[in-house]
Amino acid sequence: LEPKEEFEQSSLAVDVMRPRRADPALATLTQDGMNVGEVEALVESTHYSGFPVVVSQESQRLVGFVLRRDLLISIDNARKRQEGVVSASQVVFTEHTPPLPPEAPPPLRLRGIVDLSPFTVTDHTAMDITVDIFRKLGLRQCLVTHNVRLLGIITKKDILKHMAQISNRDPDSILFN
Ligand code: ADP
């Protein structure tokens, strides 16, 4: 990313994050509230590279971040190799499996693929600070929170597009400079 002088002083994380007001909601996974079929449907209905994991849709409390490719590989492996894992199997991102009804199919435990400390900024973090962190840590994305609630996501491309808008340049020319 380009030096931070490219940035307007006044840009905040909330100005750059997705979703925008008119966009569909942030696509999130709940830590123990979805089954394999629901997770597959969510992943297949979007092209996002990753999905935040939250405690529940109501709380939007952040648990971690899962990469799309890790999800797809793990589900595929489990369906092939793990006895009894079917679309109705509960997907569990928590440390302990919640009690399941006796007739339930075996759960799919995916705690191991969750990044439990994804980088986060608050909605009011200045973008020059956020860009600095992206550059120093080599981030691909970071999550945006307000108090304990997850609000959105900023990818490296979102930042490049925002910078291009400010300077009226083609994002590719910034990326490949
Ligand atoms: P990139 O920005 O590199 O294309 P993605 O494909 O992951 O990366 O994201 C595409 C767009 O969708 C970006 O604007 C990003 O902010 C947004 N986005 C990424 N993940 C999600 C998600 N889980 N839910 C909603 N929007 C997302």
**pLDDT at res. 27:** 98
What class is the 25-118 domain? alpha beta
Give 167's pLDDT tier (boundaries 50, 70, 90).
confident
Q: Which of 18, 72, 165 for mutating ligand 1's site (highest number of atoms within 8 Å of CB)?
A: 18
Give 177's pLDDT tier (boundaries 50, 70, 90).
very low
Angle (CA) 30-36-40 rounded to 5° is 90
Lowest mean pLDDT among 34-38, 114-118, 140-144, 167-171: 167-171
Query: Is residue 125 over pLDDT 90?
Result: yes
3-class DSSP state for residue 149? strand
Q: Is the CB of 18 under 6 A from ligand 1?
A: yes
Mean pLDDT, residues 69-86 taken together: 95
Rounded percentage of the chain residues whose pLDDT exceeds 70: 90
Nearest to 119 by CA among 49, 60, 62, 55: 62
Q: Which atom of ligand 1 is nearest to the CA of 155?
A: 2
Q: Who wins on pLDDT, 173 or 165?
A: 165
Q: Which atom of ligand 1 is nearest to the CA of 49?
A: 7
Tell me how far the alpha carbon of residue 48 lies from the centroid of ligand 1, in angstroms. Answer: 5
Q: Is the CB of 65 under 6 A from ligand 1?
A: no
Q: Which of 45, 48, 141, 154 for mutating ligand 1's site (highest number of atoms within 8 Å of CB)?
A: 48
Domain residue spans in the chain? 1-17+123-177, 25-118
Cα(first)–Cα(last) distance of the chain, in Å? 9
CA–CA distance, 122 with 90 (Å, rounded to integer): 31
Tell me how far the alpha carbon of residue 155 lies from the centroid of ligand 1, in angstroms. Answer: 6
| Averaged pLDDT of the chain | 91
**pLDDT at res. 172:** 61
Query: Is residue 9 over pLDDT 80?
Result: no
Q: Residue 54 gets which letter from DSSP? A: E
Q: Provide the token pair at 71.
A: 């999800």
Query: Is residue 68 over pLDDT 90?
Result: yes
Q: Is the CB of 143 under 6 A from ligand 1?
A: no
Residue 19 preceded by cis peptide, ω within 30: yes
**CATH of region 1-17+123-177:** 3.90.1280.20
